[in-house]
Amino acid sequence: PRSNRAKSKEHKRLNTHKLVLQYIVPCMNSYGLCIVDNFLGDRIGERVVQEVKRIHQSGNMQDGQLVSQKLNKSKAIRGDKIAWVDGTESGCQNIGYLLTRMDKLITCADGKLDKFKISGRHKAMVACYPGNGAGYVKHVDNPNADGRCVTCIYYLNKNWNAKEHGGLLRIFPEGKSYVADIEPLFDRLLLFWSDRRNPHEVQPSYATRYAITVWYFDSEERAEAKRKFRDLTANSQEGSSS
Ligand SMILES: O=C(O)CCC(=O)Nc1cc2ccccc2cn1
Ligand SMILES: [Mn+2]
ipTM: 0.99
* 3-class state of residue 62 by DSSP: strand
> Is residue 8's pLDDT more than 90?
no
Q: What is the pLDDT of residue 238?
A: 66
pLDDT at 242 over 60: no
What's the confidence (pLDDT) of residue 234?
79
Q: What is the mean pLDDT of residues 167-179?
A: 97
Q: How far apart are the first and last CA of the chain?
A: 73
Mean pLDDT within 116-131: 95
Helix (H, G, I), strand (E, B) or coil at 213: strand
CA distances from 131 to 52, 53, 188 (A): 16, 14, 20
Ligand 1 centroid to residue 141 C-alpha, Å: 7
Does 188 contact ligand 1 (Cβ within 6 A)?
A: no
Kindly state if the Cβ of 153 falls inside 6 Å of ligand 1.
Answer: yes
Whether residue 168 has its Cβ less than 6 Å from ligand 1? no
Atom of ligand 1 nearest to the CA of 141: 17
Residues whose CB is less than 8 angstroms from the CB of residue 200 and which lie 6 or more positions away in sequence, other chains included: 138, 139, 140, 141, 169, 170, 171, 172, 192
How far, in Å, is the centroid of ligand 1 from the Cα of 60? Answer: 18
Segment 42-88, tens digit of pLDDT: 999 999 999 999 999 999 999 877 777 666 655 667 789 999 999 99
Identify the helix (H) or strand (E) that includes residue 108: helix 93-109
Which residues lie below 8 Å from residue 63, measured CB to CB, with a gap of 6+? 78, 81
Q: What are phi and psi of 63, to 5 degrees?
A: -60, 135
CA distances in angstroms from 67 to 71, 123, 208, listed in the order given: 13, 25, 16
Phi and psi, residue 67, nearest 5°? -110, -25
Instruction: Name the 3-class secondary structure at 126.
Output: strand
169 lines ligand 1 (CB under 6 A): yes
CA distance 54 to 48: 10
Q: CA-to-CA distance for 203 and 162, rounded, in angstroms?
A: 10
- Angle ∠(212,214,170) on CA atoms, nearest 5: 70
Is residue 95 over pLDDT 90? yes
Least confident of 27-41, 109-123, 221-235: 221-235
pTM for the structure as a whole = 0.92
Q: Which of 155-169, 171-185, 219-233 has the lowest mean pLDDT?
A: 219-233
pLDDT in the model for residue 9: 83
